[in-house]
């Protein structure tokens, strides 16, 4: 078993592994068994890092949802290795999609691991008019089967009672004979995977990969279909509102308006309600009540002019700037964005957006699935970079991560953008969106056309539309916000401390002078802006307070916002990029993105100056110019054909 | 006939999936060659959505062009 995974699993007791297809509710089981919380979402790829917990002195391990185990994706490899090391597998099955899920169930049975099946979402199946004979299923598979509705805690007690009755199920005798003929020192599960031609397992066991993948898969699929048809009784079918809505979401005529409506709703909720109404209120509290109290308190304790006072409660004070910014501005905004993300994830809308935009993303060298990381990126680029693991090929992960780090503003970046643009007016906001959009499209198109390899075609499941449960999405949004703030706090305080010390030691001035050719000469900005970029490498939102205090011209504000958006969002995302793409590629990406960001910033400031007369911006012509420039690049790129596998 | 030519509501049988990786993934989903599915939606210039036992699967347009089906 993979050492990295092994080292994360607590020792002692048996290993109880939760496994199942995506969207079947594994996380709810993990929650119910261990009392710990993990993300519950209605889209593939939520469980990217494995979660471990305790149950009765045994270890419970959650796995990423997969349709089968082999080595087709990173998620699959992780799940495969955990199942291979399991003492008991709790296989969670979506009752509505029993036939599909039984493939994995039977693969695990064929691996010879003791298993118990939880027929989850039994209530949904009944509403769909399905009657399930789970006693017959027990007989056919030779393993215990429990009927559950995990989100309502139904059947969990029975599962807990029967969990230790898990046993290896019935295996087709001819397959069993084939497995026994695999000459290897490895265990039964590994022998099966070798037979199925899994390259990684074969290499690990020093065996030649088998060539019978398709015949084994076919036989298993046939048997799964057969078993499903024997135990499911359809009593009727109902075409509900969810069905109709699901259809409208897919058709461009209704799908794009619905998408626009959704985005408008998101804007109203996050951009207006959270970013303005709530933030005004929280900032007021921090500015009027919190900061003066801290300043006078620290001042009276340490002396108003002392070095320590400047560090703790000065312009970049650890106790003033950090706290005001985190609580007053970031907390409500990030909470708002994560709430929206959680609702979108739980509803099952995201895969339908993926289908709707598949064609458009194809132009960027991506398939529609990439829309999920790209949308998540507006919440948190770091998280989104991790979620690119659900993309089918390395090439797409590369393109998606580059676009995320380069052109997608995360919630923290958007927080500042919303705040700064509130003072600039709608023309600048439109301009910003247009420029960002052209940059994303041209970069994506160029990467899609010139990177070696081909786009992997779209092949995804559309999960049923579900009404998001407030209990779950609020909890999820809150957990993510809490983790975000928890992670941001030390970085932010460290950054503030670093800046204050630089300021006190007089080094800030030196750095400003050093960066002046870039900031003053190339970007036409005041030298103090260097602070924003220096700290921006750590966390983008760090510079926001400085930007607002500098009182620059609208054009300058605009250029700072654009350049900041284009640079890599924060130290956490930088680390994730290095981790996901490897040191060499990651570092190269980082450098290219920074160079491009400053280059585009400089070009933009010259464009803005050229298109404005005595301070007023000639917006229409500028818009036309940008659109033409984008059209020219896209037109030229067409000479190179698009590739698809 | 290829899958992208199917029309909404049409019941079809999948007869050939040339791409190895897609074929394996499709078996796991429940779409082996020989499976009978209903064409649920053809997104104009976009993916084809097929449904089988309440399970909806979206297939990119260019992939759909390679999948052979026959009406039944």
pLDDT at A237: 56
A541-570 mean pLDDT? 81
Q: Is B2 on the interface with A (CB under 8 A)?
A: no
Q: Which of A142-146, A501-505, A556-560, B50-54 has the lowest mean pLDDT?
A: A501-505
Choice between A629 and B54, residue whose per-residue pLDDT is larger: A629
Token pair recorded at residue A56: 């009765």
In tens, the pLDDT along A190-199 reads: 999 999 989 8
d(CA A442, CA A630): 7
Residue pair A558/A528 in contact by the 8 Å Cβ criterion: no
B22-47 mean pLDDT? 87
Name the 3-class secondary structure at A352.
helix
Residue A401 binned pLDDT confidence (cut-offs 50, 70, 90)? very high
Residues 270 through 299 of chain A touching chain B, CB cutoff 8 Å? none
Q: Which of A70, A221, A245, A254 to mutate to test the interface with B (most CBs of B within 10 A)?
A: A221
pLDDT at A163: 93
Residue B31's domain spans which residues?
Answer: 3-71
pLDDT at A2: 45
In tens, the pLDDT along A592-616 reads: 999 999 999 999 999 888 888 766 7
Torsion of CA A312, A314, A317, A319, to 10 degrees: 60
DSSP structure string for A463-496:
PPP-PPPHHHHHHHHHHHHHHHHHHHHHHHHHHH
* CATH of residue B52: 2.30.30.90
Query: Quick check: B63 and A457 CB within 8 A?
Result: yes
Burial A288-323 (b: 16+ CB within 10 A, else e): eebbeebbeebeeebeeeeeebbbbbbebbbbbbbb
Q: Is A367 on the interface with B (CB under 8 A)?
A: yes
Runs of H (alpha helix) within A363-425: 371-377, 381-387, 394-407, 411-422
A66 to chain B: closest CA residue: B28
List CB contacts (< 8 A) between A247 and chain B: 40-41
CA distance A168 to chain B (A): 21
Q: Which of A231, A455, A458 to mutate to test the interface with B (most CBs of B within 10 A)?
A: A458
Q: Is a pLDDT exceeding 70 seen at residue A516?
A: yes
Tally of domains in chain B: 1
pLDDT at A11: 65
Q: Is B60 on the interface with A (CB under 8 A)?
A: yes
Measured at the CA of A423, the angle between CA A419 and CA A428, to 5 degrees, comes to 95
Query: Quick check: B58 and A458 CB within 8 A?
Result: yes
Cβ burial of A31 (10 Å; 0-12, 13-18, 19+) is: buried
Choice between A499 and A227, residue whose per-residue pLDDT is larger: A227
- Give me the residue from B40, B44, B55 closest to A100, CB to CB: B55
Superfamily, domain A3-234: P-loop containing nucleotide triphosphate hydrolases (3.40.50.300)
Q: Is A160 on the interface with B (CB under 8 A)?
A: no
Where do the structural domains in chain A lie, given as residue ranges?
3-234, 306-454+474-637
Verdict on whether the full-model pTM lies above 0.80: no
pLDDT at A321: 76
Q: Is a pLDDT exceeding 50 seen at residue A97?
A: yes
Please count the residue pairs, one from chain A and one from chain B, whose beta carbons lie less than 8 angstroms apart: 118
CA distance B32 to chain A (A): 7
Cα separation values, A300 from A303, A307, A322, Å: 5, 13, 20
List CB contacts (< 8 A) between B57 and chain A: 459-462
CA distance B52 to chain A (A): 10
A539-563 mean pLDDT? 79
Average pLDDT of chain A, as a whole number = 83
Choice between A42 and A102, residue whose per-residue pLDDT is larger: A102
CA distance A379 to chain B (A): 26
């Amino acid at each position: 078993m993979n050492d990295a995974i092994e080292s994360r699993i607590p020792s002692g007791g048996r290993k109880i592994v939760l496994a199942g297809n995506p969207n079947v509710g594994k996380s709810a089981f993990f929650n119910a068994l261990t009392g710990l919380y993990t993300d519950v979402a209605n889209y593939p790829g939520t469980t990217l890092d494995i979660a471990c917990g305790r149950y009765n002195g045994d270890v419970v391990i959650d796995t990423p949802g997969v349709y089968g185990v082999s080595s087709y994706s990173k998620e699959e490899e992780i799940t495969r290795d955990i199942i291979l090391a399991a003492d008991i597998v709790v296989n969670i099955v979506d009752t509505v999609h029993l036939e599909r899920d039984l493939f994995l169930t039977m693969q695990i049975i064929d691996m010879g691991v003791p298993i118990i099946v939880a027929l989850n979402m039994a209530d949904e199946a009944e509403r769909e008019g399905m009657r399930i004979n789970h006693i017959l299923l027990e007989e056919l598979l030779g393993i215990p089967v429990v009927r559950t509705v995990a989100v309502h805690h139904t059947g969990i007690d029975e599962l807990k009672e029967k969990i230790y009755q898990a046993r290896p199920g019935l295996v087709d005798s001819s397959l069993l004979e084939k497995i026994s003929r695999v000459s290897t020192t490895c265990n039964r599960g590994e022998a099966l995977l070798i037979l199925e031609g899994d390259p990684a397992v074969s290499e690990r066991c020093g065996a030649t990969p088998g060539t019978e993948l398709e015949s084994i898969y076919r036989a298993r699929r046939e048997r799964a279909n057969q078993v499903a048809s024997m135990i499911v009784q359809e009593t009727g079918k109902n075409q509900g509102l969810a069905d109709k809505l699901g259809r409208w979401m897919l058709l461009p005529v209704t799908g794009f308006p619905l998408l626009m409506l959704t985005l408008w709703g998101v804007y109203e909720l996050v951009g207006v309600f959270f970013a303005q109404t709530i933030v005004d209120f929280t900032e007021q509290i921090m500015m009027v009540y919190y900061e003066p109290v801290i300043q006078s308190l620290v001042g009276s304790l340490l002396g108003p002019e002392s070095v320590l006072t400047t560090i703790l409660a000065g312009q970049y004070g650890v106790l003033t700037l950090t706290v005001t910014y985190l609580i007053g501005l970031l907390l409500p905004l990030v909470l708002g964005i994560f709430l929206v993300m959680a609702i979108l994830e739980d509803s099952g809308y995201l895969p339908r957006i993926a289908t709707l935009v598949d064609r458009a993303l194809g132009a960027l060298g991506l398939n529609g699935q990439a829309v999920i990381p790209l949308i998540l990126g507006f919440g948190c680029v770091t998280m989104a970079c991790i979620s690119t693991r659900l993309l089918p090929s390395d090439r797409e992960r590369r393109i998606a991560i580059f676009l995320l780090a380069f052109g997608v503003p995360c919630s923290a970046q958007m927080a500042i953008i919303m705040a700064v643009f509130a003072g600039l007016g709608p023309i600048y906001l439109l301009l910003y969106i247009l420029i960002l959009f052209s940059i994303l499209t041209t970069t994506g198109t160029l990467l899609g056309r010139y990177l070696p390899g081909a786009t992997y075609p779209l092949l995804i499941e559309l999960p049923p539309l579900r009404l998001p449960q407030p209990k779950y999405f609020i909890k999820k949004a809150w957990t993510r916000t809490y983790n975000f703030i928890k992670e941001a706090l030390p970085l932010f305080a460290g950054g503030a401390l670093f800046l204050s010390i630089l300021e006190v030691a007089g080094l800030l001035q030196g750095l400003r002078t050093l960066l002046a050719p870039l900031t003053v000469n190339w970007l036409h900005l005041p030298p103090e802006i260097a602070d924003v970029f220096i700290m921006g490498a750590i966390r983008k939102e760090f510079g926001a307070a400085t930007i607002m205090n500098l009182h620059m011209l609208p054009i300058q504000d605009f250029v700072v916002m654009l350049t900041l958006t284009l640079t890599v969002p924060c130290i956490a995302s930088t680390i994730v990029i290095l981790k996901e793409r490897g040191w060499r590629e990651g570092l190269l990406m980082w450098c290219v993105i920074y160079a491009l960001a400053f280059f585009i910033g400089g070009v933009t400031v010259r464009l803005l100056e050229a298109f404005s007369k005595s301070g007023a911006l000639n917006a229409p012509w500028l818009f036309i110019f940008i659109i033409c420039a984008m059209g020219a690049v896209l037109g030229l790129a067409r000479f190179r054909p698009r590739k698809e596998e | 006939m290829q899958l992208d030519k199917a029309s909404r509501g049409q019941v079809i049988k999948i007869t050939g999936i040339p791409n190895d990786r897609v074929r394996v993934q499709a078996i796991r989903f429940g779409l082996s060659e020989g499976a009978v599915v209903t064409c649920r939606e053809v997104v104009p210039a976009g993916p084809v959505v097929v449904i089988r036992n309440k399970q909806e699967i979206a297939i990119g347009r260019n992939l759909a062009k390679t999948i052979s089906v026959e009406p039944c």
